[in-house]
Amino acid sequence: MSTRLAQRLEVVQPSATLAVSARAAALRAQGRTIYPYGVGEPDFETPAFIRDAAKVALDAGATRYTAVAGTPDLRKAVAAHSERARGVKCAPEQVVVAVGAKHALFDLALALYEPGDEIIIPAPYWVSYPEQVRIVGATPVIVETKEEEGWLLTPAALEKALTPKTKAVILCTPSNPTGSAYPEAALRGLLEVLEKHDCWLIADEIYAALVYDGFKQVSALSLASEKLRERIIVIDGVSKTWAMTGFRIGWSITPVHVAKALDVIQSQSTTNAAAVAQAAAVAALNGPTDSVEAMRLRFEGRRTRMVDGLRAIPGVKCRAPEGAFYAFADFRALYGLPSAHAKSGKLENDLEIATFLLEEAGCAAVPGSAFGASGYLRFSYATSEQNIDAGLAAAKAAVEKAKR
Q: Has residue 170 got a pLDDT over 60?
A: yes
Select from 286, 305, 339 the last residue of a domain. 286
- Please write the tens of the pLDDT for every residue from 17-68: 666 778 888 999 999 999 999 888 999 999 999 999 999 999 999 999 999 9
pLDDT at 16: 61
Same domain, 393 and 298: yes
**Helix extents (H) in 174-255:** 184-194, 220-223, 226-229
Read off the pLDDT band of 110 (50, 70, 90). very high
Same domain, 25 and 165: no
Q: Has residue 144 got a pLDDT over 90?
A: yes
- Please write the tens of the pLDDT for every residue from 188-221: 999 999 999 999 999 999 999 999 999 999 999 9
CATH number at residue 278: 3.40.640.10
Same domain, 101 and 63: yes
Same domain, 221 and 183: yes
DSSP output for 320-361: PPSBTTEEEEE-GGGTT-B-TTSTTSB--SHHHHHHHHHHHH
d(CA 286, CA 242): 12
In a domain, 399, yes or no: yes
CATH number at residue 326: 3.90.1150.10
- List, in order, residues 6 or more apart from 404 with CB less than 8 Å away: none
Q: What percent of the chain has pLDDT over 70?
A: 99
Beta bridge partners of 200: 168
Same domain, 141 and 225: yes
pLDDT at 130: 96
Select from 266, 286, 306 the last residue of a domain. 286
In a domain, 1, yes or no: no
Domain residue limits at 70 = 49-286
Same domain, 200 and 177: yes
Same domain, 41 and 53: no
Select from 269, 286, 303 the last residue of a domain. 286
- Please write the tens of the pLDDT for every residue from 6-18: 888 888 877 666 6
Same domain, 174 and 298: no
Same domain, 250 and 375: no
Q: Has residue 363 got a pLDDT over 90?
A: yes
Pairing of strands 95-98, 250-253: antiparallel
In a domain, 390, yes or no: yes
Q: Has residue 356 got a pLDDT over 80?
A: yes
What is the reported pTM? 0.95
Q: 225-237: string of b/e by CB count within 10 Å (b at 16+)?
A: eeebeebbbbbbb
pLDDT at 91: 98
- Please write the tens of the pLDDT for every residue from 55-105: 999 999 999 999 999 999 999 999 999 999 999 999 999 999 999 999 999
- Please write the tens of the pLDDT for every residue from 265-307: 999 999 999 999 999 999 999 999 999 999 999 999 999 999 9
Mean pLDDT of 362-373: 96
Mean pLDDT of 120-147: 97
Read off the pLDDT band of 245 (50, 70, 90). very high
Provide the number of structural domains found in the chain: 2
**Helix extents (H) in 143-289:** 155-161, 184-194, 220-223, 226-229, 256-267, 275-286
Same domain, 298 and 184: no
In a domain, 58, yes or no: yes
In a domain, 2, yes or no: no
Pairing of strands 317-318, 326-330: antiparallel
Same domain, 297 and 334: yes
Mean pLDDT of the chain: 96
Same domain, 279 and 295: no
pLDDT at 62: 97
pLDDT at 8: 86
pLDDT at 1: 57
